[in-house]
């Protein structure tokens, strides 16, 4: 397996921390913008896209701050890769600064960034940000 590289993306959102937390940490919220369908059992989230599914463990969740997931495939392979969506309120503008941290193979970083851009645009439309 090819080594993956870490990348981060930052977005400004006009919404409340409570609304954003719901969209990032609950199956119903995630299924509105991140995947077609999302289910949870214990701490395992099942994400469904175009008839395929991927499972990820919720590693940590901090109220009004972040959600960190690890794909079970990476967990089984012993990789340290994860994806995290964290956010904080900018004290000056009162806007939410959301940071996405993810990993992708070098030749797939641009594609992964474009996918996140598309998904975050869907999220922005949903929350009116």
Q: For the whole model, what pTM was predicted? A: 0.89
Q: Which residue has the tokens 């960034």?
A: 113
Consecutive H or E run containing 127: helix 109-127
112: closest CA among 121, 122, 102, 120?
102
∠ at Cα 33 (49, 111), nearest 5°? 65
CA–CA distance, 65 with 98 (Å, rounded to integer): 9
Q: Where are the domains of the chain?
A: 4-127
For the chain, 129 residues long, give each residue's pLDDT as a single digit of tens: 578 999 999 999 999 889 999 999 999 999 999 999 999 998 899 999 988 999 999 999 998 899 999 999 999 998 999 999 999 999 888 899 999 999 999 999 999 999 999 999 999 999 886
Asked whether 11 and 86 are in contact (CB, 8 A), the reply is no
CATH of span 4-127: 3.30.530.20
| Residue 24: strand, helix, or coil | helix
């Amino acid at each position: 397996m090819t080594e993956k590289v870490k990348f981060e993306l930052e977005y400004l959102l006009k919404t409340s921390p409570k609304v954003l937390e719901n969209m990032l940490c609950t199956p119903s919220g995630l299924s509105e913008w991140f995947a077609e369908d999302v289910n949870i059992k214990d701490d395992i989230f099942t994400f469904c896209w175009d008839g395929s599914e991927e499972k990820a463990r919720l590693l940590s969740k901090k109220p009004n701050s972040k959600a960190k997931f690890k794909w079970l495939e990476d967990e089984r392979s012993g990789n340290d890769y994860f994806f995290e969506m964290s956010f904080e309120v900018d004290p000056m503008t009162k806007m939410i600064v959301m940071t996405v941290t993810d990993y992708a193979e070098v030749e797939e970083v641009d594609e992964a960034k474009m996918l996140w851009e598309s998904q975050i645009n869907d999220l922005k439309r949903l929350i009116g940000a």
